[in-house]
């Protein structure tokens, strides 16, 4: 799953500090969906205050063959806890989960370069072979990760992985520049090698680029 800059970009490429989340919920409780300072503003004043910006965004998709796993076995890898076993640079600082593993509405936090990224699992459906999660790094990027796994044979599947990254500012613009097709292709090749190796041997494959 990666996302730290690009490591946030993608290591293993959302993050919001828990403090920022706390401030958000405090603001909601004190003023509905907004803030106390917005009370009394006319509709026209609100429209003038609100910014609507055309997003700077990139999206990449790549598929690979998984040679040694059924859909349930492959889906189990896409988990913030399980990923420790097959992704060398993956280490969440906290995972919020009823089951202790990945599940719908699971929340987890990763850290890197002095920033926190908060991840939220919006969909996890083994029957459909579908995973979707988002992650946010405040003032930097908002990223959506989509994974679709389809069976080819009893023990061979195709995994299609899509990352869509939206910049939230200058730092995010820099991340978009790094997160190009070449970077993504290298990262996905490493993802395929690491996951196939783990499913076949149960061992971690180290030293892979962009992963």
- Ordered mean pLDDT values, 10 residues apiece, the chain (211 residues): 54 43 46 68 93 97 95 97 97 98 98 94 98 98 99 94 98 98 98 97 96 89
Where along the chain do its domains lie? 5-201
pLDDT of amino acid 153: 92
**Residue in the structure block whose two tokens are 């969909």:** 123
Q: What is the pTM of this model?
A: 0.84
Is the Cβ–Cβ distance between 53 and 142 less than 8 Å? no
Are the CB atoms for 133 and 75 separated by under 8 Å? no
Q: Are 22 and 189 in contact (CB under 8 A)?
A: no
Query: What SS3 class is residue 171?
Result: helix
Main-chain dihedrals φ then ψ at residue 171, nearest 5 degrees: -60, -40
Edge-to-edge strand ranges of the sheet holding 141-151: 57-66, 157-167, 141-151, 130-137, 115-125, 107-112, 94-96
pLDDT for the residue 15: 37
What is the per-residue pLDDT for 14?
38
Three-class SS state of 139 = coil
> Cα–Cα distance between 202 and 195 in angstroms, integer?
10
Q: What is the DSSP string of 175-208?
A: HHHHS-HHHHHHHHHHHHHHHHHHHHHS-PPP--
3-state secondary structure of 26: helix
Domain 5-201, architecture per CATH: 2-Layer Sandwich (3.30)
Given this model, what pLDDT does residue 34 score?
56
The predicted pLDDT at position 28 comes to 46
Decide: 39 and 33 in contact? Cβ < 8 Å. no
pLDDT for 110:
98
Rounded to 10 degrees, the C-alpha dihedral 123/127/130/136 comes to 20
**What's the pLDDT score for residue 74?**
97
| Residue 28 CB partners (closer than 8 Å, separation 6+) | none
User: Residue 149: which residues within 8 A CB-CB, separation 6 or more?
Assistant: 66, 71, 74, 75, 129, 130, 157, 158, 159, 160
């Amino acid at each position: 799953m990666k996302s730290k800059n690009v490591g946030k970009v993608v290591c293993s490429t959302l993050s919001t500090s828990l403090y920022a989340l706390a401030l958000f919920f405090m603001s909601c409780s004190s003023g509905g969906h907004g803030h106390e300072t917005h009370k009394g503003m006319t509709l026209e004043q609100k429209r003038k205050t609100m910014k609507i910006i055309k997003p700077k965004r990139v999206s990449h998709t790549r598929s690979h063959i998984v040679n040694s796993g059924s859909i349930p076995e492959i889906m189990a890898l896409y988990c913030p806890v399980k990923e420790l076993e097959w992704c060398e640079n993956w280490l969440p600082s906290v995972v919020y989960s009823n089951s202790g593993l990945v599940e719908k509405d699971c929340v987890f936090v990763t850290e890197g370069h002095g920033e926190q990224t908060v991840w939220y699992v919006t969909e996890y459906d083994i029957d459909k072979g579908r995973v979707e999660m988002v992650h946010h790094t405040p003032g930097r990027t908002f990223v959506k990760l989509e994974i679709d796994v389809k069976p080819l044979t009893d023990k061979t599947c195709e995994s299609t992985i899509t990352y869509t990254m939206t910049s939230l500012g200058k730092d995010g613009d820099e991340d978009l520049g790094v997160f190009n097709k070449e970077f993504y292709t290298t990262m996905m090749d490493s993802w395929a090698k690491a996951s196939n190796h783990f499913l076949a041997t149960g061992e971690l494959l180290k030293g892979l680029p962009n992963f």
